[in-house]
Amino acid sequence: MTTELKRRTIPLTRPLIGEAEAEASRRPIMSGWLTQGPEVAAFEQEFAAYTGAQHATAVSNCTTALHLALLAVGVQAGDEVITVSHSYVATANVVRYCNATPVFIDIDPATSNINPALIEAAITERTTAILCVHQMGMPCDLAGILAVTKRHNLPLIEDAACASGSEIFWDGRWEKVGKAHGDIACFSFHPRKVITTGDGGMLTTNNAEYNTQFRLLRQHGMGVSDRVRHSANQVIFEEHAVIGYNYRMTDVQAAIGREQLKRLPDIVAARRRIGTRYLDLLTNIPGLTLPHEPEWARTNWQSFWMRLPTHCDQRGVMQAMLDRGVATRRGIMCAHREKPYQREDGYNLPESERAQDRNIILPLYPQMTDEEQDYVVEMLKESCHA
């Protein structure tokens, strides 16, 4: 291992973005149309084609996408939405935005995703939807989840924030997450995700009525779009028949997103190579628990997690690695441990809590070299036994 590399900081992630995106951003800047316009429309069409969905609607971020999805399927005050605590707090927050209650169930520790076997017992007469999370890009067991939702006639919303480019084996062929195997899928384009627009989100669905609601609500409930109004040869006075939101994506973001979408297949291929290499490098380290990719899933390895041996202190290992120039993150947070979701009787979510307390996330980005990855593994071994 070179001294130069040991002095280098290895980040948790690094967006793959460059001249193509910079040049693309010139189009809306020079056109004078900066907010939701032709670039957004083109990005929506291209993203729908990539995922195989019939409809795609761009919004300001994945949180707003999830909020619109819940509203579209009818979640309202007093309802319950079954989901996981083991996710970024936004997953729970959007349920509260609807004045509904998130009902947390535990995860499958092998995949860090919702455990389908626990859903049915959590259903009550107030349950209005199921919200699953493709955590860190690992696809959920959609077949198992949908078997339950169909029995109870409940809509399924997929929090696919991390899952751009991930795939599941469905009806005898590989299909993209986002084809909306459930009712609606929601994506994030934050810089920590696989592709980025700086910030931004997308909803995909095969339900035309839902798509109409997304487009209405994302722009203050305005009954006619900017593109239609500005291209009309007659004066149009818009109406606002419902209360909507300012959840629009800008054309500058969309222009960047269109270039990122072109890169996505290569980005996923690089991430899968690096993720597979981590599995090979770490497989014989005593006490480590590695993520499991089911045979019907192809993750994009948005993040690579592992569970530390019982003798290793999570914070101590992370600090030791940081001291050696390697950034890590703790296991995915649990919303039920945060003040707004705490309750006196507590929660029975042992696997979710174990994942937060025992897992760490290692650096992974498409530009990562084998030498950098070898260094990360070496520093993990040293830090775990420090």
CA distances from 324 to 4, 286, 314, 379 (A): 12, 22, 16, 7
Task: Report how far apart, in Å, the C-alpha atoms of 311 and of each of 10, 288, 289 are.
Answer: 25, 11, 13
The pLDDT assigned to 273 comes to: 98
pLDDT in the model for residue 6 = 53
In this structure, what token pair is assigned to residue 85?
Answer: 């605590």
Boundaries of every domain in the chain: 3-7+264-384, 19-261
Residue in the block written with tokens 């900017």 = 226
Structure tokens, 20? 């193509």
C-alpha separations of 267 from 135, 186, 196, 250, 329 in Å: 18, 20, 12, 24, 21
The pLDDT confidence band at residue 7, using thresholds 50, 70 and 90, is low
pTM of the model: 0.94
CATH of 19-261 among 3.40.640.10, 3.40.50.300, 3.90.79.10, 3.40.50.80: 3.40.640.10
pLDDT tens by residue, 133-160: 999 999 999 999 999 999 999 999 999 9
Residue 230 has a pLDDT of 65
Q: ∠ CA(213), CA(217), CA(220), 5° rounding? A: 150
What tokens were used for 16? Answer: 């793959």
Q: What is the reported pLDDT for 226?
A: 72
Apex 29 CA angle, 23 and 35, nearest 5: 120
Tell me what percent of the residues of the chain surpass a pLDDT of 70. 96
The pLDDT tens digits of the residues spanning 212-269 come to: 999 999 999 887 767 666 666 777 677 778 899 999 999 999 999 999 999 999 999 9
pLDDT of residue 241: 82
Locate all alpha helices (DSSP H) within the chain, ordered by sequence: 3-7, 19-31, 38-51, 62-72, 90-97, 119-122, 142-151, 208-217, 226-231, 251-282, 314-323, 350-358, 370-384
Q: What is the pLDDT of residue 386?
A: 53
Class of domain 3-7+264-384 as given by CATH: alpha beta
pLDDT score of 145: 98
For 105-134, the pLDDT digits (tens) are 999 999 999 999 999 999 999 999 999 999
Name which residue leads in pLDDT, 222 or 45.
Answer: 45
Question: Cβ–Cβ contacts within 10 Å for residue 31, how many?
Answer: 13
pLDDT in tens, 9-33: 899 999 999 999 999 999 999 998 8
Does residue 193 have an active-site annotation? Answer: yes
Question: Which listed residue (193, 262, 339, 381) is catalytic?
Answer: 193
